[in-house]
Structures are given as C-alpha cells and as structure tokens.
Amino acid sequence: MVLSHGRLSYDPLARSAQLNGQPVELSARELSLLELFLQRAGRLVSKEQLMARLSESGEEQVSPNAIEVYVHRLRKKLAPGGVRIATVRGLGYSLERSEPL
C-alpha cells in the first residue's frame, strides 16, 4: 500500500519516495523516519518514537541529536513539494502540508 501526503508518496515495499512525481533520494534512516511520519500524518511523533523506529531495523542506538539531524535533512528534501515537518517544542514533530493542494 502506497502512503501519500499531499504531493508526497512513499511505497514501503519498494522503499522509494516521490515528490511531485519525481524520485526523492533518501537514506535508509530517512526512509524509515518518513514512513513513520506518513503513517501518523498530522499527528505528533515523539523523538522517542523516531528513535525506536530506527532501532527496530537492527541499527545501533540513535541519539536525540541525531534525530534532529535526520529531521532537518528530511525537511530540506520535502519542502519543495509543499510538505513540512513541524516541531512541537518539547514533544516531537508533526508532518503537515505547508500549502494547499
């Protein structure tokens, strides 16, 4: 099942994302975080949930600071398509549309 949010789509089976119909180059960790954001679009995702998602894939423990770096990278790659990751201070992040469709 393809996950979509505005002009962003993600195919979990192919592990590929598209923005405005064009492929988006994302690292494995960025793809894992994007999948969680899309599953919970419009709802709060805590840093702890993001850290747990990355550790599920058998990777080493990731620090909260590393999560901030991955979120920053995702923001830069998704912003051209009108998709943004909002920070909810002290709580986590939320995937939103920054412009109407």
Output 12 or 100, whichever has higher pLDDT.
Answer: 12
Helix pair angle (47-56, 28-39), 10° resolution:
130
Tell me the per-residue pLDDT of 28-87, one tens digit each, with 9 for 90 and over.
999 999 999 999 988 999 999 999 988 876 667 788 889 999 999 999 999 988 899 999
CB 85 within 8 A of CB 71: yes
Tell me the per-residue pLDDT of 7-36, one tens digit each, with 9 for 90 and over.
999 999 999 999 999 999 999 999 999 999
| The three-state (H, E, C) secondary structure of 3-41, written as one string | EEECCEEEECCCCEEEECCEEECCCHHHHHHHHHHHHCC
pLDDT band at residue 98 under the 50/70/90 scheme: low
Paired tokens of 88: 């909810």
Amino acid 63: pLDDT: 86
Q: How many residues would you count in the chain?
A: 101
Q: List the domains of the chain with CATH numbers.
A: 3-97 (1.10.10.10)
